[in-house]
Chain A
Amino acid sequence: MATRGLINLAQAGEAALIVAAQARDQAAFGELVKRRQGWARALLRRMCSNAAEADDLAQEAFIKAWERLRDLETPAAFPGWFRRIAVTTFLMAKRRQKAVFEEIDDASPIASEGSTPEAAAGAKIDLERALARLSDAERLCVTLNHGEGLSHAEIVDMTGLPLGTVKSHVLRGTEKLRRMLEAA
């Protein structure tokens, strides 16, 4: 069992690991990465739709988190704080790839229709495959809204996209997923 100083890494709570990592304890940070890697990689895989690229971005995000960990005010804020780093890392990568987030290819509004109970009852989406068919911006907004439970305003704050654009991407992405489910 890994023990370092007064901290038993395997049994330490996340808050203790974060405090130790803020004091530049690499082993504590390693344990934190072990515990959070699944969530972080899943989040980035949903945003990226490419597992290898997502894992590279997750690694980049963890390294940034290590470098900026002293800026984190309370350990309880770690998930939201790390999510912001992950999203920023993703957006920077997409900007390097010249991806366009603000343009909406089809200006026609999509009505938010309620899905039929038959379609939804007992159904389960092959989420990663369905998300892969959305645009980068739709995938980002749908993941943050439905997957991470962020409001439109929180997504605006995190991504810097205009509110109307965020709403459109969420609505459009959700609608596309609904159609995919109905077609399946």
Chain B
Amino acid sequence: MQPPERPGFPDQRFDPGFGFEAVRLGVTAADPLVPRQTGFTLSAAATREQQARLTDALRQRLGSGSVRRLRPVESHIPEQAVLSDTVDDAPSAWPPSRDLPLRPPLLLPKAEPAEDVVAVVPDGPPQRFRWRKSLHWVSHTQGPERIAAEWWRERQPKPTRDYYIVEDEAGRRFWLFREGLYGREASHPRWAVHGFFP
């Protein structure tokens, strides 16, 4: 992390006057901290060998298809962007995460409907929603991220989704989408919860 700079005042001495009472930092550009998987031991070769032995042991115990790895797929549709495949020796090539759009680490296998949603038409974020019987009031949001359906996959392509990252009053973060654009696609779009952010 770099010490904060004040652009335009490179050389001037800064006079704090009576001192600071509060300092507010605005982060305009942030790079994600990329996590790195450390090995069980310090040497990379030994790690690989141990990993291979672990994989074999698990496979023998649980079946050959039991050990899987996630591979990236170039698709804008979130649930299709990750494919679960049986493990082989080739490492999966994930593009650097700063090039990927922000995605929740946990994605529901099927998006669950959210009811009683109140949002400003046409594409305002939800202000409240009901999911699994409890009502959540939204305090912070980000979005919409607009993702249109892959029209070539079926006869009637699905409607466009607008995704929102929302944080409720308890600090829980959800990934919601509204399916259907007002006016152009649907007069009564549906809402759903698709995933969770930490």
Q: Do these two chains interact?
A: no
